[in-house]
Amino acid sequence: MNGKKVAFYTLGCKLNFSETSTIARSFKQEGFDRVDFSEEADIYVINTCSVTDNADKRFKTIVKQAQKVNEDAFVVAVGCYAQLKPEELAAVDGVDLVLGATEKFKITDYLNDLTKNDFGEIHSCEIQEADFYVGSYSFGDRTRAFLKVQDGCDYKCTYCTIPLARGISRSDKLENVLKNATEISAKGIKEIVLTGVNIGDYGKGEFGNKKHEHTFLDLVKSLDKVEGIERLRISSIEPNLLKNETIDFVSSSTTFVPHFHIPLQSGSNDILKAMRRRYMRELYVDRVQQIKTVMPDACIGVDVIVGFPGETEEHFLETYNFLNELNISYLHVFTYSERDNTPAAEMKEVVSKKIRKKRSKMLRGLSAKKRRAFYESQIGNTATVLFEGENKKGYIHGFTENYVKVKAPWDPSLVNTLHEIELKEIDEDGLVRFEFLHEPHPVAV
């Protein structure tokens, strides 16, 4: 396979990005050259997502994109959708190989020859067999790395297919996480984002069983000591698993940044119960207040689902008003979509697609308002910005530690560098202009 070209496309979450990077490294070890997905390759690997309808539909479009560039290319599907609906993906015109949850990390073992198949070949385990842990992290694609610390989930939320796609909750060994973090740091990457399916559950499954030696707090404290890492960011963490001790530790840490993303899903206790979430809205308020007490400038992102079965207008307004009054910074809004083999798909009182769309639009509007208010509250503050690597219409973008997005005229020397700045004003596109406080650019931009 030496000299053969491979390209990757990732749908979905940060966890998928970290796993794609790990799979890509295994190809490199086998002598493959990695190229961009828009370029001609011998193999195209698509890492799929099952969280939304849209991710399902996009898969076919991406396969067609690959075939346009090289109709003889070998197309492989991996990831959550590949585990849940392997036959469906295998039937898509142009797909040659579909690998499930345990097989995707051994992808090169399945590439005996690259002859196109009439029908996709499937290698997919029973999800109960996905009980071992494969560590992964991403770098090279971005200025930050996604470090996977945990996989799978033992929660039984009624709308979610993730336990069916990824198996039981299990964690990386602490020593291995620290080894990976050190490797990332050695590559000059300034920021690590911790990722997993349910990272607050970290420690469970560290030894292939439910025995715990370490907790999420132990993980955070140990990573804080890794030399060379400028920033550590916690991605999504369940409110019932985000403990006061972790919040307090982050507030005093020099590397963990004041940014939390905490799934809510609904502001109505009735709907939270129907979703089988493990908290009520009162706990969520408590978590937000705790963060803001010790870190007043912290950024708090929220996941919310609209149009869940049984969500009445009253329930939705309860969610809207709850979020409107809460001291949060932005929303990720998901429109509920039925997933096979979930209890919610069997529930009565289905909310029409039209109403789901309307509610989604209302919450997206609220998110824009919340983000604007958060950015306005930060004007005049000093912050540290890490610049990204992309030239976007003549501008370079970056993020402060508390996730304010800033812009400046494109300057390649700024890529992957940290600078102290003062936030000045919000531009017409909603991003923030700033002044450098020190050399090399002590001027307004």
Check residue 443 and give its pLDDT: 47
Cβ-contact 185, 230 below 8 angstroms: no
Which one-letter amino acid corresponds to residue 60?
K
Tokens standing for residue 15: 């966890």
pLDDT the model gives residue 263: 96
Render 248-259 in DSSP notation, one character per residue. Answer: HHHHH-SSB-SE
8-state DSSP, 94: T
Ramachandran bin of 36, using left for φ above 0, alpha for ψ from -120 to 50, beta for the remaining angles: beta
pTM given for the model: 0.85
Q: What is the pLDDT of residue 47?
A: 92
Q: Starting at the edge strand that comes first in sequence, how are the strands of the sheet with 231-234 ordered?
A: 144-148, 191-195, 231-234
Walk along the chain (445 residues) and give the pLDDT tens digit of each residue. 567 899 999 988 788 888 888 888 889 888 899 999 999 999 999 999 876 667 667 888 999 999 999 998 999 999 888 888 888 888 888 899 999 877 888 888 887 666 666 667 887 666 565 556 666 777 655 678 989 999 889 999 999 988 888 888 989 999 999 999 999 998 889 999 999 999 999 988 655 556 667 899 999 999 999 988 999 999 899 999 999 999 999 999 989 999 999 999 999 999 999 999 999 999 999 999 999 999 999 999 999 999 999 999 999 999 999 999 999 999 999 999 998 899 999 999 999 999 999 999 999 999 999 999 999 999 999 999 999 988 888 999 999 999 999 999 999 999 999 999 999 999 999 999 999 998 665 444 4
Q: How far is 46 from 10, CA to CA, in rounded Å?
A: 6
Tokens, residue 230: 């400028």
CA distance 301 to 290: 15
Distance CA 34, CA 22 (A): 13
Query: How many alpha carbons lie under 13 Å from residue 384 in its C-beta half-sphere?
Result: 13
The phi and psi torsions of 95 (rounded to 5 degrees) equal -80, 130
DSSP 106-152: GGGGG-S--PPPSS-EEE---GGG--S----B--SSSSEEEEE-EE-
Strand partners, 399: 386, 405
Q: What angle (nearest 5°) sits at the alpha carbon of residue 443, between those of residues 402 and 230? A: 35
Check if the beta carbon of residue 37 is closer than 8 Å to that of residue 68: no
- DSSP E strand stretches across 346-390: 382-387
**Inter-CA distances, 122 with 47, 118, 247, Å:** 15, 13, 44
The residue with tokens 């142009």 is: 94
Closest CA to 417 of 233, 189, 139, 137: 189
> 28 near 20, Cβ under 8 Å?
no
**Which residues are 261's β-sheet partners?**
236, 301
